[in-house]
Structure 1
Amino acid sequence: MEQRLITFNFLLLTTFTSFFWFSSSSPGLSFNFYGASCPTAEFIVRNAVRSASTSDSTLPGKLLRLVFHDCMVEGCDGSVLLEGNETERSDPANTSLGGFSVVESAKEMLEIFCPDTVSCADILALSARDAVEFAGGPHVQILTGRKDGRVSLASNVRPNMVDTSFTLDEMMKLFSSKGLSLDDLVTLSGAHTIGSAHCSAFRDRFQEDSKGKLTLIDSSLDKIYADDLKQRCPADASPSITINNDPETSLSFDNQYYKNLLSHKGLFQSDSVLFSDGRTREMVEELSNSLESFFEKWGQSFFKLINIGVKTGNEGEVRRLCTSINIG
Structure 2
Amino acid sequence: MNLNRPLLILFVSLVSVLLWPPCSSSDLSPYFYALSCPNVELLVKGTVQSATALDPTLPGKLLRLLFHDCMVEGCDGSVLLQGNGTERSAPESKTLGGFQVVDVAKRLLEIFCPGTVSCADILVLAARDAVELTGGPSVAVPLGRRDGRVSSASKVLPNIIDTTFTLDEMLHHFSSKGLSLEDLVALSGAHTIGLAHCSAFSERFDEGPNGTWTPADASLDRGYAAELARRCSGGADESVTVGIEPGTSSVFDNQYYRNVLVGKGLLGSDAQLAADSRTRRMVEAFSGNQEDFFRSWARSFLRLASVGVKTGGEGEIRTSCPQRNR
Fold match (TM-score > 0.5): yes
The 8 Å contact of residues 199 and 241 in structure 1, kept in 2 or not, is answered as: yes
Deviation at 1:211, TM superposition (A): 5.3
Letter in 2 for 1:149: G
Residues 34-79 of structure 1 show CA distances to partners (whole Å, capped at 9, x for unaligned) of: 0000111111101101111112111110101100000000000000
Are positions 1:293 and 2:289 aligned together?
A: no
Asked if residue 119 in structure 1 is aligned to residue 114 in structure 2, the reply is: no
Tell whether 2:44 aligns with 1:41: no
* Cα offset, 1:238, TM superposition: 5.2
Does the 8 Å contact 1:193/1:255 carry over to 2?
Answer: yes
Residues 196, 244 of structure 1: 8 Å contact kept: yes
What are the superposed Cα offsets for residues 269-319 of structure 1, whole Å, 9 maximum, x if unpaired? 100110011110110000000010000000000000000000011211000
Distance 2:185 2:139 in 1: 18
**For 1:149 and 1:29, how far apart are their aligned partners in 2?**
16
Looking at structure 2, the residues matched to 198 and 237 of structure 1 have their Cα atoms a distance apart, in angstroms, of 8
Q: How does 1:43-82 map onto structure 2 within 5 Å?
A: 43-82=42-81
How many angstroms apart in 2 are the aligned matches of 1:143 and 1:263? 37
**Rounded Cα–Cα distance in structure 2 between residues aligned with 1:292 and 1:62:** 24
Distance 1:318 1:127 in 2: 17
Whole-Å separation in 1 of the counterparts to 2:133 and 2:34:
23
Please give the alpha-carbon distance, in whole angstroms, between the structure 2 residues aligned to 1:214 and 1:171.
27
TM score, norm. by length of structure 1: 0.91
The answer to whether the 8 Å contact 2:221/2:262 transfers is yes
The amino acid of 1:35's aligned partner reads A
What secondary structure is seen at the aligned counterpart in 2 of 1:326? coil
Tell me how far apart the structure 1 counterparts of residues 238 and 102 of structure 2 sit (CA, whole Å).
Answer: 26
Q: In structure 1, what is the Cα distance between the partners aligned to 2:210 and 2:104?
A: 47
Return the alpha-carbon distance in structure 1 between the equivalents of residues 207 and 298 of structure 2. Answer: 41
- In 2, the alpha carbon distance for the partners of 1:287 and 1:206 equals 28
Task: Name the counterpart of 1:10.
Answer: none
SS of the aligned residue for 1:39 comes to coil
CA RMSD of aligned residues (A): 1.4
Larger Rg: 2
How far did residue 83 of structure 1 move? Answer: 0.1
Moved more, 245-254 or 231-240: 231-240
Does residue 142 (structure 1) correspond to residue 151 (structure 2)? The answer is no
Q: Provide structure 1 residue ranges, at least 5 long, that are not aligned to the other structure.
A: 1-19
Q: Which residue of 2 aligns with 1:183?
A: 182
Q: Shift of residue 171 of structure 1?
A: 0.1
Residue 284 of structure 2 is aligned to residue 256 of structure 1: no
Residue of structure 1 in register with 2:304 after alignment: 305
Distance in 2, Cα, partners of 1:212 & 1:106: 42
Cα distance in 2 for partners of 1:27, 1:74 equals 16
- State how many pairs are aligned: 305
Distance apart, 1:236 and its partner CA: 4.2
Matches within 5 A, 1:1-328: 27-210=26-209, 212-237=211-236, 239-327=238-326
Contact 1:72/1:161 (CA < 8 Å) preserved in 2?
Answer: yes
Secondary structure at the aligned position of 1:160 is classed as coil
